[in-house]
């Protein structure tokens, strides 16, 4: 399948310091706005599927609300190995749209 940028939200939908969850082809994706920069990682925690976007965000690090394992939005990597990493997605702003690269 060819890669394509898919509009998943408006940039105004996610306030600075906040996260939202969007859906891309049935997959949950968590988007964070950190000081005006947007980041996207898998929205389901690799531990037991907790909702990443409902966790606590500190800088680019999110703490899963279920069992408090942490992930960095910059890389998707966990700060608490051996818990797995979250898939990282490319994200861009196009006009007012937030677009994620679907591959
Ligand atoms: S489901 Fe996220 S830490 Fe357990």
25-67, pLDDT tens digit by residue?
A: 999 999 999 999 999 999 999 999 999 999 999 999 999 999 9
What is the pLDDT, as a whole number, of residue 1? 64
Which atom of ligand 1 is the closest one to the Cα of 68?
3
CB 69 within 8 A of CB 78: yes
CB 32 within 8 A of CB 42: no
75-102, pLDDT tens digit by residue?
A: 999 999 999 999 999 999 999 999 999 9
pTM for the whole structure: 0.96
Structural domains of the chain, ranges and CATH numbers in brackets:
4-102 (2.102.10.10)
Which atom of ligand 1 is the closest one to the Cα of 50?
1
């Amino acid at each position: 399948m060819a890669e394509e940028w898919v509009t998943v939200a408006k940039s105004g939908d996610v306030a600075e310091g906040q996260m939202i969850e969007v859906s891309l082809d049935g997959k949950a994706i968590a988007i964070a706005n950190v000081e005006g920069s947007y980041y996207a990682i898998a929205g389901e925690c690799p531990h037991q599927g907790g909702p990443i976007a409902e966790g606590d965000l500190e800088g680019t690090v999110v703490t899963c609300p279920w069992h408090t394992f942490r992930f960095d939005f910059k890389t998707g990597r966990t700060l608490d190995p051996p818990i797995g990493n979250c898939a990282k997605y490319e994200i861009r702003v196009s006009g007012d749209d937030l677009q994620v690269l679907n591959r």
